[in-house]
Amino acid sequence: MDFVKMHGLGNDFVILDLINHPELNNRDFSQVAVKLCNRNFGVGADGVILVLPSRKDDIRMRIFNADGSEAEMCGNGIRCFAKYAYERNIVPKTELKVETLAGTIVPRLEIKGNGVANITVDMGKPHLERSSIPMKGPEGKVISEELEVDGEVYKITAVSMGNPHCVIFVDELEKLNLKNIGPQIETHPAFPQKTNVEFVKVEGPDEVTMRVWERGAGETMACGTGACAAVVAGVLNNKIQRKTRVNLPGGVLLIEWSSDDGRVYMTGPATQVFEGRLTINL
């Protein structure tokens, strides 16, 4: 089976096109993802993205993390997905509707020459009620709320972008032991479906720097939904403006939480690295 390797700011994915493989559409891809994402024995990636037909939208995306769990959505992944679908003429539109577990997501493509230069994605409205994160506790929003982890108290803001995020603002990122604290917050009992974790440093009113621990994948070079959650959390805590540059280890995303329609818009690139053919038994 052929595959394509792509990344969004270093957050990398194996793309499997199942449009012409209907016999595989209903199989369990959890263990396939574990095999393919292994950087020693597989292709190596943060996740596996499936390209599927949709009964209600232009096309359907499923994404599996490196640990085999299925994610509701992925901001970097959907930019790669949209570029793949357009450049292969699967959906020859510069605005396409993508069915995901988080609902219909609409990427808009900026075309230069014969290819896609940038993608702006309408990520929808953030969910802020505790029950919609989901997070245990009394009803209401979770803004700068204390959470104890391993004897230390963190002030967290919880946001769902179709998937759960726990945002923590810090004064410095360099000394942060993310490999230690990240998985502890990811699997904290307060989050029944686990959570993504973002540590964010405010650089100015329209700029932040972020490190992310992704649920099911560990530390990654970038996280699109995490960048959106970080900006929403920053606005809720009166730290930044609604239109903000988010610096990630893999590059920059531009995020805007619109005051007009309440929706979050993410703009960034997607890059194809190579094409190949799988020879391992799926």
Is 223 among the residues known to form the active site? yes
Distance CA 231, CA 42 (A): 35
pLDDT value of position 281: 75
What pLDDT digit, counting tens, does each position of 208-239 carry?
A: 999 999 999 999 999 999 999 999 999 999 99
Q: Check residues 113 and 282 and name the one with the higher pLDDT.
A: 113
CA dist 152 and 237 (Å) reads: 21
Which residues, at least 6 apart from 94, have a Cβ–Cβ distance to it below 8 Å?
Answer: 86, 108, 109, 111
**Inter-residue contact 107 to 96 (CB < 8 Å):** yes
Q: What is the DSSP letter of 22?
A: G
Q: Are 193 and 164 in contact (CB under 8 A)?
A: yes
Residue tagged active-site, from 37, 74, 80, 228: 74
pLDDT in tens, 13-69: 999 999 988 888 778 899 999 999 999 999 999 999 999 999 999 999 999 999 999
248 phi and psi angles, rounded to 5 deg: -120, 160
pLDDT band at 114 (very low <50, low <70, confident <90, very high): confident
Look at strands 251-257 and 243-248 and give their pairing.
Answer: antiparallel
pLDDT at position 6: 98
pLDDT at 111: 95
What pLDDT is attached to residue 27?
A: 84
Q: Kindly tell me if the per-residue pLDDT of 282 is higher than 80.
A: no
Which position has the token pair 């929403």? 232
Q: Chain-wide mean pLDDT for the chain?
A: 96
Write down the catalytic residue from 37, 80, 166, 223: 223
